[in-house]
Structure 1
């Protein structure tokens, strides 16, 4: 492959996606140049897949800004989709266990030739088109590190008979056939052994070194790897308020204490420093109102991520 970087630069500032019941993720900030390896780390339900789908134009953002190859999101979602590809995304871009490796490759090459090429390419003789398709497939397989001769039945091996790492390589190879500037891989290290995980990251490093920007969702990124741009999803601390500024608890303590003492004599329900009722209307006294904890925020994020995925057909 050409070692000249042709990948897409990716930037995000305050980026977030919100579902009907809460945020899938929010406050994502990072900058990655062309040919970078970006690792998205976070616990299950923290919006990792939603971030992957949003940055590839498959899911609409609700906050902040992001750009892929200079294309702003969500304004240019269609254009972003045309320069990105998905691999190993359950429910969106996954392998059919009933098909063989060869059937997957032929189908993807046919689609690429029919819809991904130029009109001039379609007008070439059939023999030339077949040779070009074989070249694309061979190049993608080499980049993904999938050796067909090592498979139990070669190209006729069924997907259900592949090892996990082999299935990951095949999924990546299929995505590479389209020549994307940004390759997004979900669940990169799911249920892989330590050796398989190292091999998977070596493959992704190779793709990035060859010029393709790689966005990989993982549970554990490579340790001590300075070449990886690390992005974390999950709960993030709220911005700190300068002392004495509006909203600072120390600036309103005396006022709140006097107000609480007055209201305790009159029997009124107290309010917080932002004027929000401490108990919802119709739920009883303030003492009986549920207290929201950091754990509750995490649950809201998980529900938001599930809802956002449900809108794309993934639950």
Structure 2
């Protein structure tokens, strides 16, 4: 198993009297895509901010690329890319000028022209950040997060506000990052995104991890490769015929209970019982 690029151990953090993270523990393996899922208020963004060194936990241990993201921020800054969910961009700067400026801060940045073409930034290159749509800001924020060729990148809801084409572009980009060995931590509300991209899924609820594993492990997919699924409506006569054939061959026919990741998520993060 590879060395974890992110490791949290018994991390707790409260905002005043309100606990947000409660003895949170999980890790992400280097070179993989790890998706963090959870309902609103689960602590996903707080967890990301803590890993990025922008929040300091009340207790517990956080390590990013083997370093403390708060005390070792200077050493981590050139190695880690961060895409924030909203805000944080200089509103008067023009999109392409801002991308070019940030690229100059790194020793070996991506070609900003190629990055702008890939993410469609050229169409609003001369537009001030304050005039960009939500989807345009998302694309610019993503470009800024990866322009320095980071070893690890945090993406907080990277496809929020994007249309179907924009989502596919971002998904392909994330796959490309993984292909060259970049570790990716992303939070998302899009189940299809997690199923399509993630090597590991961490499901959070009320500040704790309620489940973690690969999409296949969480959904039960692939547990038994010696199975055949027949899909579609079936009446009693057809079901009886199937059972007859199965009996002849020493097999069993049962209604499958395989679930999609969305169903697993909803089961694990339902309303708190009173």
Q: Same fold (TM over 0.5)?
A: yes
Give the Å deviation of 1:78: 4.4
Deviations 1:104-162 (A, max 9, x none): 1233234x0xxx55xxxxxxxxxxxxxx77x64246446xx22455x1x6x32444665
Residue 44 of structure 1 deviates from its aligned partner by: 1.9
**Structure 1, unaligned runs of 5 or more:** 1-6, 118-131, 240-292, 297-315
Change in 2 beyond 3 A, CA 1:294/1:238: farther
Q: Deviation per CA, 1:68-94, whole angstroms, max 9, x where unpaired?
A: 111145554443344222213324x33
Change (3 A) 1:236 1:203: same
1:53 offset after TM fit, Å?
1.0
User: Does the 8 Å CA contact 1:47/1:234 hold for their aligned counterparts?
Assistant: yes
SS at match of 2:205: coil
Point out the structure with max Rg over C-alpha. Answer: 1
Higher relative contact order (CA 8 A, sep 6+): 1
Matched, 1:70 2:66: yes
1:21 and 1:73 map into 2 onto residues whose CA distance is 25
Aligned residues: CA RMSD: 3.5
| SS of residue paired to 1:104 | helix
CA contact (8 A) 1:88 1:94 kept: no
Question: Cα 1:28–1:229, aligned 2, differ >3 Å: closer, same or farther?
Answer: farther
What is the match of residue 93 of structure 2?
Answer: 99
How many residues end up aligned between the 2 structures? 211
- Comparing 79-88 and 15-24, the one that deviates more: 79-88
Which of the two has greater helix per residue? 1
> Normalization by structure 2: what TM-score?
0.62
20 and 89 in structure 1: CA distance in 2 versus 1, 3 angstrom threshold: same
Alpha-carbon distance in structure 1 between the residues aligned to 2:121 and 2:168: 21
For 2:148, the equivalent position in structure 1 comes to 178
| TM superposition shift of 1:294 | 4.5
Structure 1 segments, 4+ long, off by >6 Å, are 236-239
More strand per residue: 1 or 2? 2
C-alpha separation between the residues in 1 aligned to 2:169 and 2:179? 15
Q: Give me the TM-score of the superposition, normalised by structure 1.
A: 0.55
Equivalent residue, structure 2, for 1:146: 119
